Structure 1
Amino acid sequence: MTWTESGTTGTVTADDGVRLWASGSGRGTPLVMCHGGPGLWDMFEDVAGLLGGLATTVRWDQRGCGRSERCAGPWTTERFVADLDAVRAHYAPDRTALLGHSWGAQLALSYALAHPERVSALVYVAGIGIGPDADWRGAYEENLLARIGEHPERRARWRELTDRPQRTDEEEREWAVLQWTAEFEDRERAPEHAERMADPWFGINTECSKALNAERRRAWGTPELYAACQALDLPVVIVDGERDIRPRSAVDSLERALPQVRRVVLPDAGHLPWVEDPDGFREAVATVL
Structure 2
Amino acid sequence: MIFSFGDRELDLDRYELRVAGVAQPVERQVFDLLVTLIRHRDRVVLKDELLDTVWGSRFVSESALTSRVKTARQAIGDNGRDQRLIRTVHGRGYQFVGDVTELPKVPADPAVQARSVVSGDSVVSAESARPPAQQIRFCAATDGTRLAYATIGSGPPLVKAANWLSHLDYDWESPVWRHWLVELSQRFRLLRYDERGCGLSDWNIDRFAFQDWVEDLSTVVDAAGLDRFPLLGISQGGPVAIAYAVRHPERVSHLILLGTYAQGRRKRAATPEDQELTEARIDLVRLGWGRLDPAYRQVFVSRFLPEGTQEQWRDFDELQQRSTSPQNAWRFVNEFADIDVTALAPKVTCPTLILCGRREPDNLFDQSRLLATLIPGSRLVPLDTANHLLPAQDPAWPRFLTEVDQFLRDPERPQR
Judge same fold: TM > 0.5, yes or no.
yes
Alpha-carbon offset, residue 118 of structure 1: 1.5
d(CA) in 2 for partners of 1:45, 1:21: 18
2:56 is matched with which residue? Answer: none
Give ranges in structure 2 of 5+ residues lacking alignment: 1-130, 172-176, 409-416
1:240–1:273 CA contact under 8 A, matched in 2 = no
Question: Which residue does the alignment assign to 1:154?
Answer: none
Give the Cα separation in 2 of the matches to 1:136 and 1:239. 27
Superposition pairs of residues 142-157 of structure 1, within 5 angstroms = none
Report sequence identity in percent. Answer: 24
d(CA) in 1 for partners of 2:285, 2:331? 20
2:206 aligns with one of 73, 82, 93: 73
Q: Of the candidates 184, 195, 200, which is equivalent to residue 51 of structure 1?
A: 184
Q: CA deviation at 1:34?
A: 2.5
* Cα separation, partners in 2 of 1:89 and 1:241, compared to 1, 3 Å: same
> Is 1:240 the counterpart of 2:367 in the alignment?
no
Counterpart in 2 of 1:31? 158
Output one character per residue of 1:111-170: Cα deviation in whole Å (capped at 9) or x when no partner: 11211111111111101235841369978999x9xxxxxxxxxxxxxx9xx769744734
Counterpart code for 2:350 = L
Describe the SS at the equivalent of 1:272: coil
Cα RMSD for the two superposed structures:
3.4
Q: State the secondary structure of the residue aligned to 2:311.
A: helix
Cα deviation for residue 210 of structure 1 reads 5.0
1:274 offset after TM fit, Å? 5.1
Gap regions ≥5 residues in structure 1: 145-158
Find 1:212's aligned residue among 325, 331, 335: 335
Distance in 2, matches of 1:284 and 1:20, equals 31
Quote how far apart the aligned CAs of 1:207 are.
5.2
Q: Which residue of 2 aligns with 1:257?
A: 374
C-alpha separation between the residues in 1 aligned to 2:397 and 2:276? 27
Query: Rg bigger for which structure?
Result: 2
Aligned pair 1:133/2:268, yes or no? Answer: yes
Distance 1:169 1:99 in 2: 30
Q: For 1:184, which of 305, 320, 343 is the aligned residue? A: 305
Task: Report the CA distance between 1:193 and its aligned residue.
Answer: 1.8
For 1:209, the aligned partner's letter is F
Pair 1:272 & 2:397 matched? no
Secondary structure of 1:117's counterpart equals coil
Corresponding letter in the other structure for 1:18:
T
Q: Distance in 2 between matches of 1:72 and 1:280?
A: 38
- Asked which structure has the greater RCO (Cα within 8 Å, sep 6+), the reply is 1
Q: Is the 8 A contact 1:28 1:56 kept in 2?
A: yes
Contact 1:102 1:125 in 2 (8 A): yes
Give the corresponding residue for 1:153.
none
Task: From the superposition, tell whether residues 138 and 283 of structure 1 become closer, same or farther in structure 2 (CA, over 3 Å).
Answer: farther
Specify the SS of the correspondent of 2:371. Answer: helix
User: In structure 2, how many angstroms separate the alpha carbons of the residues matched to 1:16 and 1:240?
Assistant: 34
Q: Report what 1:151 is aligned to.
A: none
Single out whichever of 170-179 and 50-59 deviates more from structure 2.
Answer: 170-179
Distance in 2 (CA, whole Å) between partners of 1:125 and 1:184 is: 14
CA distance in 2, matches of 1:27, 1:136: 48
- Cα distance change on mapping 1:56 and 1:136 into 2, 3 Å: farther
- 2:166 aligns with 41
Verify: 1:175 aligned to 2:302, yes or no. no
Distance 1:167 1:266, change over 3 A: closer
Instruction: From the two aligned structures, give the one with the greater helix fraction.
Output: 1
Supply the distance in 2 between the matched residues of 1:136 and 1:243 (Cα, whole angstroms).
Answer: 21
What is aligned with 1:102? 235
Is contact 2:298–2:317 with CA below 8 Å preserved after alignment? Answer: yes
Q: Which residue of 2 aligns with 1:150?
A: none
Distance 1:9 1:166 in 2: 33
In 2, the alpha carbon distance for the partners of 1:64 and 1:220 equals 22
